[in-house]
Structure 1
Amino acid sequence: MSVDDKIPVPAAGGKAPTAGEGVTVIGLGRFGGQVASTLRALGHDVLGIDVEPQRVQQWSDVLRHVVQTDSTDEVALRQLGVPDLGRAVVGIGENIEASVLTVLALAELGVKEIWARASSAKHGKILSAMGAHHVIYPEAAMGDRVAHLITTRMLDFITLDDTFSLAMTRAPQNLVGRTVGQSSLREKFGVLVVGVKAADDTFAFALPETVVPADSMIVVAGSAQQVQEFAAST
């Protein structure tokens, strides 16, 4: 069976056919659905689980394996082979009780890597206490990103923590035609140029001898404060 072949959607308690390198995504709303879709596009085998039959039907056209079942039911998850897949993403957001009990069920089953979406700091602490290895705050992360974008000249912004962020900005005029090594941005702002995107959308990782062309964009790395101060100066 090829990766694009469809299989019937199994009923609750049915057995997912793939184990080993797959990922279980529980909760196929906006967040979980996007995670599942991207994983599928990257070539990973995904077992999608949701309690709502409409979502199961919707995602049966995208994912090879979609199941309608109660994700807090440890027995059902075991029968589906969830522990064998090794990795699980809990995308349940609004129903905190279901989110917490699902993470607990996954932990009890010995799932090796559990990623869980949290809607608040307290929710995240509970998920960690229940056994989640990675807690994600998508709303907070997006809010932080938008705040940086609307108050600076950055075109894109990603932060991993207070000590490391990445930002894309238009190349300042005083950099155009010069090499990255001549820019002295590290000395002036503490940021490092890690990439250059030309006007034709070609991207190159920056070396000291890389010349910054006209109408290009650069990607810089540094702390959130350093990146923001550099963007404000462009």
Structure 2
Amino acid sequence: MNTYLHSLRRRRGKRLAHTYAQQHTGDQRVAVIGLGRFGSSLAGELMRRGWEVLGVDEDERLVQRHSETLTHVAVADCTDIEVLRQLGVHEFPSVVVAIGTDIEASILVTSNLLDDSVPNIWAKAISRQHGKILERLGAHHVVLPEHEMGERVAHLVTGRMLDFIEFDDDYALVKTVAPEVATGVPLGVSAVRTKHGVTVVGIKRPGQDFTHATAETVVAPGDVIIVTGRTEAVEAFTELS
């Protein structure tokens, strides 16, 4: 189980790195403060995508571990605004505050970055309350990887879903084995969208790659499909027989 949870943390870091990289195609520099599992996964993925990454942590062992994989590393206490300035963190277009369980440090670092007018701050929260505080401070993006991971695992354990990703505004993307109501006829005829409020956007047959779904696509029993829609609607759809 620990290996599986670690894998999910790593995948969450990769997903955030992918989102971050898509949104920022100009100055490809980022500072990651906190090199725990989440921060190191994020930093490593951004490096893989060709970004220049400064990794910072108070723990000398963590910094040493990543000294050969990141562009720059430093051992430093970033709750001190002067230390941040000496490292030149305020000159980076974007900074990720990936500090783990030390909420006070997370808040202080985020506040320091805001005082120095860093234009794009991503901050990790370990609870909804922590997230609300970061939002009120003015952090531009707040992520709750542990909470989101818990929700995701709960969906996978309790239902027919093979994968589950929830976005803002109560919208979700789900990978699932096609329920019977969606099989045997073209999607346009089964009227999945009209009847169930979801849209089938992709399909994978055994032994084949995923492909886009259209109104003419006929889903067969055992096919794996990608479905989007309101979270409640996709949850209900995946539970249909």
Q: TM-score range by the shorter chain?
A: 0.7 to 0.9
Quote how far apart the aligned CAs of 1:165 are.
Answer: 0.8
Q: 1:179 to 1:40 in 2, by over 3 A?
A: farther
Quote how far apart the aligned CAs of 1:121 are.
Answer: 2.3
Residue 96 of structure 2 is matched in structure 1 by: 89
Are 1:197 and 2:201 counterparts? no
Q: 1:162 to 1:128 in 2, by over 3 A?
A: closer
Are 1:71 and 2:78 counterparts? yes
Are 1:110 and 2:117 counterparts? yes
More displaced stretch, 96-105 vs 119-128: 119-128
Residue 180 of structure 1 is matched in structure 2 by: 187
Q: C-alpha separation between the residues in 1 aligned to 2:71 and 2:104?
A: 28
Q: Aligned AA for 2:88?
A: G
Quote how far apart the aligned CAs of 1:130 are.
Answer: 2.5
Q: Does the 8 Å contact 2:181/2:240 carry over to 1? A: no
Q: Work out which of the residue numbers 100, 115, 132 in structure 2 matches 1:125.
A: 132
Q: C-alpha separation between the residues in 2 aligned to 1:44 and 1:210?
A: 40
Q: Does the 8 Å contact 2:203/2:223 carry over to 1? A: yes
More displaced stretch, 78-87 vs 183-192: 78-87
More displaced stretch, 102-111 vs 33-42: 33-42
Q: 1:217 to 1:90 in 2, by over 3 A?
A: same
Deviation string 1:55-90 (CA, Å, 9 cap, x unpaired) is 001111321211111112222222323222211111
Q: What TM-score, normalized by structure 2, do the two folds share? A: 0.82
Quote how far apart the aligned CAs of 1:33 are.
Answer: 1.1
More displaced stretch, 52-61 vs 175-184: 175-184
Percent identity, please: 47
Q: 1:85 to 1:228 in 2, by over 3 A?
A: same
SS class of match (1:168): strand
Q: Does the 8 Å contact 1:162/1:224 carry over to 2? A: no
Q: Work out which of the residue numbers 129, 132, 145 in structure 2 matches 1:138.
A: 145
Q: Work out which of the residue numbers 130, 140, 161 in structure 2 matches 1:154.
A: 161
Residue 37 of structure 2 is matched in structure 1 by: 30
Q: What TM-score, normalized by structure 1, do the two folds share? A: 0.84
Q: Work out which of the residue numbers 41, 47, 59 in structure 2 matches 1:40.
A: 47
SS class of match (1:111): coil
Larger helix proportion of the pair = 2
Q: Aligned AA for 1:75?
A: E
Deviation string 1:186-230 (CA, Å, 9 cap, x unpaired) is 122111011112323512222222343564210111111110110
Residue 236 of structure 2 is matched in structure 1 by: 229
Q: Does the 8 Å contact 1:92/1:99 carry over to 2? A: yes
Tell which structure's C-alpha radius of gyration is larger: 1
Quote how far apart the aligned CAs of 1:161 are.
Answer: 3.6
Q: 1:190 to 1:99 in 2, by over 3 A?
A: same
Q: C-alpha separation between the residues in 1 aligned to 2:132 and 2:180?
A: 46
Q: C-alpha separation between the residues in 2 aligned to 1:83 and 1:20?
A: 14
Q: C-alpha separation between the residues in 2 aligned to 1:96 and 1:122?
A: 10
Quote how far apart the aligned CAs of 1:131 are.
Answer: 2.6
Q: C-alpha separation between the residues in 2 aligned to 1:201 and 1:84?
A: 47
Q: Does the 8 Å contact 2:198/2:233 carry over to 1? A: yes
Residue 18 of structure 2 is matched in structure 1 by: none
Residue 11 of structure 1 is matched in structure 2 by: none
Deviation string 1:94-114 (CA, Å, 9 cap, x unpaired) is 111111111011111111111
Flag structure 2 segments of 5+ consecutive residues without an equivalent: 1-25
